[in-house]
Homo-oligomer: A and B are copies of this chain.
Amino acid sequence: MGEEVEVVENKQVLLKKYIEGVPTETDMEVKLGNTIELRAPKGSGCFLVKNLYLSCDPYMRSRMRDFHGSYIPPFVIGRRIEGFGLARVVDSDDPDFKPGDIISAITGWEEYSLLRKSDALQLRKVELDHEIPISYHLGLLGMPGFTAYAGFYEICSPKKGENVFVSAASGAVGQLVGQLAKLHGCFVVGSAGSKQKVDLLKNRLGFDEAFNYKEEADLDAALKRFFPEGIDIYFDNVGGSMLDAVLLNMRVRGRIALCGMVSLQSLSNPQGVHNLFNAISKRIRIEGFLQSDYLHLYPQFLEHVKGYYKEGKIVYIEDMSEGLETAPSALAGLFSGRNIGKQVVRVATD
């Protein structure tokens, strides 16, 4: 008696140690030899998924620190890390999820994961569309795209004709912020860290102007060149010295959305921002946000952004890394700006 259950290898990416500065490849380990039963145990309410694509996102480094005071707990040393992923249901003890369904959620960095509706964060069924690459559900139509949408419309209070500056502008979030701002009738400038990225911003992503911050000895002067009349909206993905330079160039009643601080070399000993005083004299609003506070807007976002994409009004650039074993290096690469566009890892194709 008892049905036969297939047991397969389940390669994983483990956290080796907590980090102090930025993540490096050696903070993680690709672990072979684990096995997993390809079923969701009866009565468990779980479903077993095969992970297809994993998303590398800068916020993940907060979970690689030994710090429990944040909005999301740290990873556990010696266990597989996790992040947003796109997966196919293989077996299910949950009537809402059937074998063959494609889901997105926070899943394990491993080949197969056992998930449960009540635990899996931001779990959604994904409706595939032959006009849209499936992996875009981790970028353009996933957390980063939604971050751009919620941050731009809900935090930046944009008005037509305003001057918008986006840092890390070719990244997963920045590239959509810039395109939404253009569609909104704004003047949009982006910064990035290489000539190739600057070319993408100007020639493919439709930014009005773009510059390589690494080639600017004086960020204040660079911003004054592109914004002689000042900045109304700054969508900040980097923090640090760029934020400081922007504070010198904001217009009265400008808005700064704090989305990420990928430039910081350390979250436990971060560099200082010196020009906050300008926020008083110029009446600037600076607001941090998390996309997860705005999930009620997700259906509207999906409809709008899918529409824009299908009409050819926006494009999206992704950087695909092949194989789970490349995931640690892909994640670490975010912090040196090695990726060009949204960094995704392909774990399997079906």
Contacts and interface: CB of A to CB of B under 8 A. Distances in A.
A281 B287 CA distance: 11
Interface in A254-275: 258-261, 264, 267, 269-275
A280 B256 CA distance: 12
Contacts of A273: 272-274, 276
Given A285-B285, A287-B285, A270 B280 contact: no
A337 to B, nearest CB: 19
A305 interface: no
A276 B283 CA distance: 18
A276 B239 contact: yes
Nearest to A280: B288
| Size range of the chain A interface in the assembly | 35 or more
A282 interface: yes
A284 B288 contact: yes
Main SS of chain A's interface residues?
A: loop
A182 to B, nearest CB: 25
Contacts of A264: 277
Contact of A272 (B71, B259, B271, B280): B271
B239 A277 contact: yes
Contacts of A320: none
Contacts of A252: 71
Contact of A282 (B269, B276, B288): B288
Nearest to A276: B273
A62 interface: yes
A272 B241 CA distance: 11
Contacts of A259: 280
B239 A281 contact: no
Contact of A280 (B261, B269, B277, B280): B261
A290 B286 CA distance: 15
A273 B283 CA distance: 18
A198 interface: no
A289 B284 CA distance: 7
A287 B273 CA distance: 15
B279 A286 contact: yes
A288 B279 contact: yes
A279 B272 contact: no
A6 interface: no
Contacts of A258: 276, 279-280
B285 A290 contact: no
A70 interface: yes
B275 A270 contact: yes
A293 interface: yes
Q: Which 8 A-B pairs have the closest CB atoms?
A: A272-B272, A279-B288, A280-B288, A286-B286, A285-B287, A70-B281, A272-B274, A258-B280
18 contacts: A71-B252, A258-B280, A261-B276, A261-B280, A267-B277, A270-B274, A270-B275, A270-B277, A272-B273, A273-B276, A280-B289, A280-B290, A281-B290, A282-B288, A284-B288, A285-B285, A285-B287, A286-B286
Given A261-B280, A272-B273, 15 more contacts: A70-B281, A243-B276, A258-B276, A259-B280, A261-B276, A264-B277, A270-B275, A273-B274, A276-B286, A278-B288, A283-B288, A283-B290, A284-B287, A284-B288, A285-B285
